[in-house]
Structure 1
Amino acid sequence: MVNWQGVMPAVTTKFTAKDTLDLAMFKTNIRAQLEAGVHGIIMGGTLGEASTLTDEEKQILLKETVDMVAGDVPVIINIAEQTTKAAVKAAAVAEKNGASGLMMLPPMRYKADDYETITYFTEVAKSTALPIMVYNNPVDYKVEVTLDMFEELLSQPNIQAVKESTRDISNVTRIKNRFADRLKILCGVDTLALESLLMGADGWVAGLVDAFPAETVAIYELQKAGKIKEAINIYRWFLPLLELDINSKLVQNIKLAEVATGIGTEYVRAPRLPLTGQERKQVLQIITTALQNRPTLPNYQNLSTI
């Protein structure tokens, strides 16, 4: 069972200079996430550079994470496959290796129509006992899962949540009006996170949390406790950093931020390459400015005492 709420980092994959998995630094980052109070771990997404990982590497990362969190928070793995057959297999492997749930994109490469998309999600849902969060990102992946499509998909009890990345903030209200709590909503766009939470989203699949876990969780916990002004103050400081997530170089950007906060490395897997030149200088300037003005956080994990 997954309680689809709170902050769930879409974690990056750490590599060494020799392009092998850096499990030591990976665990350092996961530990920082857990200490900050995140509510789940999501792996194998864009930030995890999953399209460049081998099946063996994905399984190693999942097993290591499951062992490390020891049931304290759910471990969700992303499925982004080209065929229904491959997606069903990936779900089975994830279940075998201890995943708590799945995040699923529509079929990759082929632009499925509504019927094909519904059938794809349904077949995978029927094949597994794991709960599923549908990743709805028509901006980047060109397939929108509409509310009418969700009406059909929710006949499958293990389709339980949506990573809402349409960039339409009013969609949170539309989903709540139509499905109430049957379909949990996790914002998938860092720059719309607080707005989405205030409109009723249940959680936040976050990116810059990889470098700034405490600040991210603090925003969630403060708004949940009704301390909106305090949440807004941190969010305003955070926004220039959050904008690094809505960029084609989001992986490189966030890994640079992880280096700056001591919980990551800059290594990416080709064809991605580390940032260079003016682009690198601009990102580092944003990170440096943020660190120079980093807010003092309240005791957000014990708000009842504040």
Structure 2
Amino acid sequence: MTHALQSGVIPAPIMPFQENGAIDWTTLDRYVAQMAGSGISALALNMAAAEATAMSHAEQVETLQRSRKVLAGQVPLVSGLIAGHTAGAVDHARRLVDAGAEGLVVFPPLPTFMSKPLPVSVVAEYHAAVVEAVDVPIIAFQTANAGYPVGTIRALADLGGVVAIKDAAFDIDRTWEIVEEARETEGRVAVLTGNDTFVLEAMLMGCEGALIGLAGAFTAELVRMQQFAAAGKATEAYEIWNELGPIARLCWSNPLRDYRPRMKYVLMKQGVIPCDATRAPQTRISDADRRGIDALFARHGLDQARYLPQG
């Protein structure tokens, strides 16, 4: 179980909604099944890509319960853990594990972790509370607006339950520092890139895998790319990334919040979901973004079957 969360590709898929804002459970079940057969290491639900902050705790729990039945043990099921304070994180962590989560991705509690300087001890204590509350592997999560200071990874490794850190700071220099610090833990904490705009580059720098929203659409091809990168076959990996990199950079361009509707439009073009609805106040895709994605699909042949989640 621990090994599965330390390498490979872990998709963070979007959540399909109906036009009225209700969750499209039938589409979600089918979507989860498609990703499960693509060679992924695990599946991470209730993440930012899924608009989890716009979902109730009850919806997050039901998402796990339904997906657990669909997966039927094919791959580990991981859940994002989003809370604003320690007691809330502990309570929700237990609820998610009871619903079937076999691992948790611990989001930084905002706005507390946004202020600088952020002491290493504060980050470690927050994660320690979750580690003590549940008996599942933990993935820490560094974001662009809540970067963790040098020394955090070493402190997290000492907790015992933290097996990886998702680096989504979108800062390639910081990625290098994180990889170097993680090496000092001798495998106790792995680095998973969450930087959708330079996924392959991060892997070639030493990230053992990826936990990314981009893999919610091009799952099987990203799995192949990661395998090539891990085997040192950079040329073969770049043959894939040269096709997927442009759409990743468009989907995760400014304003960054709009990667969700952009990815929903990508999945709708693939025929994976029937509707690109989001929950307000998240906006729908702009006409300019729609035209840009259409052009990249045509230029890079992204309508080919191999680019579907299941390949």
Give the alignment's TM-score, normalised by structure 1: 0.89
Verify: 1:154 aligned to 2:149, yes or no. Answer: no
CA deviation after TM superposition for structure 1 residue 20, in Å? 0.9
Describe the shift of the 1:153–1:209 C-alpha distance in structure 2 as closer, same or farther (beyond 3 A). Answer: closer
Q: Secondary structure of 1:18's match?
A: coil
Taking the aligned partners of 1:292 and 1:213, their CA distance within structure 2 comes to 13
Contact 2:154 2:182 in 1 (8 A): no
2:252 equivalent in structure 1: 246
Counterpart amino acid of residue 89 in structure 1: D
1:222 equivalent in structure 2: 228
Larger displacement relative to structure 2 (258-267 or 47-56): 258-267
CA deviation after TM superposition for structure 1 residue 46, in Å? 1.2
Alpha-carbon deviations, 1:194-231, whole Å to 9, x = none?
Answer: 12222322111122222212211111122233433111
Taking the aligned partners of 1:291 and 1:202, their CA distance within structure 2 comes to 28
Taking the aligned partners of 1:67 and 1:292, their CA distance within structure 2 comes to 31
- State, as a whole percentage, how many aligned pairs show the same letter: 22
Q: Secondary structure of 1:76's match?
A: strand
Where do 5+ consecutive residues of structure 2 fail to align?
A: none
Counterpart amino acid of residue 39 in structure 2: G
Verify: 1:136 aligned to 2:142, yes or no. Answer: yes
Contact 1:32 1:213 in 2 (8 A): no
Query: Which of 172, 179, 186 is 2:185 aligned to?
Result: 179
Taking the aligned partners of 1:19 and 1:189, their CA distance within structure 2 comes to 28
Taking the aligned partners of 2:14 and 2:82, their CA distance within structure 1 comes to 16
Alpha-carbon deviations, 1:95-132, whole Å to 9, x = none?
Answer: 11111100012212223632332221111211111110
1:280 equivalent in structure 2: 290
CA deviation after TM superposition for structure 1 residue 285, in Å? 2.3
CA deviation after TM superposition for structure 1 residue 149, in Å? 2.2
Q: How big is the alpha-carbon RMSD for the aligned residues of Structure 1 and Structure 2? A: 2.1
Taking the aligned partners of 1:99 and 1:292, their CA distance within structure 2 comes to 32
1:304 equivalent in structure 2: none
2:131 equivalent in structure 1: 125
Where do 5+ consecutive residues of structure 1 fail to align?
A: 302-306
Counterpart amino acid of residue 78 in structure 1: G
Taking the aligned partners of 1:14 and 1:128, their CA distance within structure 2 comes to 29
1:259 equivalent in structure 2: 268
CA deviation after TM superposition for structure 1 residue 32, in Å? 1.8
Larger displacement relative to structure 2 (109-118 or 225-234): 109-118
1:109 equivalent in structure 2: 111
CA deviation after TM superposition for structure 1 residue 296, in Å? 6.7
Contact 2:221 2:306 in 1 (8 A): no
Alpha-carbon deviations, 1:27-73, whole Å to 9, x = none?
Answer: 22212212221111111111010010011111110111111111121
Contact 1:13 1:47 in 2 (8 A): yes
